[in-house]
Amino acid sequence: MNFFGFSIYESAATQSEQTAVVAAHQMSDSSLSSRNAFINFLQEYRQNHHTTSTHKPLWRMTIEAANRWNNMTLREKYSYIESAHNAKYIYRARDRDVNRILNLMRKSLTSKDTIDLPYLIKAAKHMKQWKRRILNEII
Taking only the tens place, the pLDDT of each residue in 103-133 is 888 877 776 677 778 888 888 888 888 888 8
- Whole-angstrom Cα distance, residue 109 to residue 89? 16
Residue 54: what pLDDT?
Answer: 65
Residue 64: what pLDDT?
Answer: 92
Cβ atoms 96, 104 nearer than 8 A: no
Residue 69: what pLDDT?
Answer: 95
Upper half-sphere CA count for residue 120 (Cβ side, 13 Å): 8
Cβ atoms 120, 108 nearer than 8 A: yes
Least confident window among 5-14, 61-70, 79-88, 121-130: 5-14
State if pTM tops 0.75.
no
Q: What is the mean pLDDT of residues 88-96?
A: 80
